[in-house]
Chains A and B, each alone.
Chain A
Amino acid sequence: MSTMQANVVTPDGTVFDGEVNMISVRTIEGELGILPRHLPLVTPLDIGPVRLKQDGKVQLIALSGGFMEVRGDEVNVLAESAELPSDIDITRARAAKERAERRLQEAKKENIDFRRAELALKRALNRLDVAQG
């Protein structure tokens, strides 16, 4: 099975670096899967999990937005933050989820705080999803 080099890079350092068979991400328009020898591509990413398939195993990474660059046999995911399941602090993510939910109840729609709470909730849910496989 052919492979490609995948890198997941954040401002705080590289999170993942290795050969994968397939990578699937959530773009702002929907799910997108990339196989080796894909055309060069640039796309922004939404908050969501990244799935890296390696010899039948799937490595999950929780991503908080960013973008992906595909070229030749190299895929670069650049994110503001990205965490492996083992690095996720579940209690913190839970607390963030509850806090965001509470804020959503309080805030009125079309409010800037509403948007922020929504994003925070999305990030927290994404982390919890990834952490629990």
Chain B
Amino acid sequence: MASLKDIKTRIGSTKKTKQITKAMEMVSAAKLNRAQGKAEQFQPYQSKIREVVASIAKGSEDVSHPMLQERQEIRKTGYIVITSDRGLCGAYNSGLLRETYQLIQERHNSEDEYGLVVIGKVGRDFFKKRNMPIVQEIVGLADQPEYAEIKNIAETTVQMFTDEVFDEVFIHYNHFISAISQKVTEAKLLPLTSLVEEAEEPKEESSGRLSYLYEPDAETILEKLLPHYAESLIYGSLLDAKASEFGARMSAMRSATDNADNRISELTLSYNRARQAAITQEINEIVGGAAAQS
């Protein structure tokens, strides 16, 4: 059995760890709040673009754009994978990376068939270690990323689709459901076929949809708007992923704190047992000594 002093030191160090995890939990909670606020701020922008693009796609049937059409032959697929820069956030990264890795292994036979655009250090290291083709990477994003920070990577990715380097682009990230639950999500980014489908579906509000004047014309606007929209989708997913990251970190740190609590009470129990055992032994020795004398 460990000595009294040993147990005491372990209680001390566990308490210190608990303080740290507790602090990290609270920091993550605050950051989660901010990230959610940021995602809310972004909402109007995205829904507006969506509305306008959908109404153009609906209003003029003859308008088509390569970004709205499914390609006949898929030669190369792009994957955008959003991970975090740091660990200590439970299964946030590992779950996502495992699923992405398996999907890619199932879908593709050779490395020429896909390319990866990785956001976050953990994901980059993961794919680098496995020698998978990373086309672009970005690490060290701020906790509350600005649009300008990812504009470049979003733009080039969309450009690669336009240039037919990629024939379709998927985005993998953790979708924020609540502070304690995130879901690994795969979303098809390009081509924007879902947008067309949605525009074709009759919606209740669509009866009030206005027919716009297009200046200079609908095609030019689509030309400008669709890349914007795709980029904003990437940014939206990033904000979503960031909120998930803080949620995941918060719950990971909370369970670490709870574990530390349990550990401390267990250790305190064994400390008290050891202390009692020591006292009992001492009494026994005294009684034994007294008996020997009489």
Contact = CB atoms under 8 A, between A and B. Distances in A.
A71 interface: yes
B213 interface: yes
A42 B147 contact: no
Classify chain B: how many residues form its interface, as a range: 20 to 34
Q: Which 7 A-B pairs have the closest CB atoms?
A: A11-B147, A43-B215, A13-B41, A44-B224, A40-B210, A41-B213, A40-B212
Interface in B32-56: 38, 41-42, 44-46, 48-49, 52, 56
Nearest to A71: B210
B45 A78 contact: yes
Interface of B: 38, 41-42, 44-46, 48-49, 52, 56, 146-148, 151, 210-216, 220-221, 224-225, 228, 232, 235
Contact of B52 (A9, A13, A27, A42): A42
26 contacts: A9-B44, A10-B45, A11-B42, A11-B45, A11-B46, A12-B41, A14-B41, A28-B224, A29-B215, A32-B215, A40-B210, A40-B211, A41-B212, A42-B56, A42-B213, A43-B214, A67-B52, A67-B221, A67-B224, A67-B225, A72-B210, A76-B48, A80-B147, A80-B148, A80-B151, A81-B148
A44 B220 contact: yes
Contacts of B46: 11
A43 B221 contact: yes
A42 to B, nearest CB: 5
Given A10-B45, A42-B214, A81-B147, 20 more contacts: A7-B44, A11-B235, A12-B38, A12-B41, A14-B41, A14-B44, A40-B210, A41-B212, A42-B52, A43-B214, A43-B215, A43-B216, A44-B220, A67-B52, A67-B224, A67-B225, A69-B52, A78-B49, A80-B147, A80-B228
B206 to A, nearest CB: 14
A39 interface: yes
Contact of A41 (B148, B151, B215): B215
Q: What's the dominant secondary structure at chain B's contact region? A: helix
Classify chain A: how many residues form its interface, as a range: 20 to 34
Interface of A: 7, 9-14, 27-29, 32, 39-44, 66-67, 69, 71-72, 76, 78, 80-81
A39 B212 CA distance: 8
Contact of B232 (A7, A11, A14, A32): A11
Contacts of A12: 38, 41-42, 146-147
Contacts of B49: 78
Contacts of B148: 80-81
A118 to B, nearest CB: 16
Nearest to A41: B213
A29 B214 CA distance: 12
Contacts of A44: 220-221, 224-225
Given A10-B147, A43-B221, A44-B225, A78 B48 contact: yes
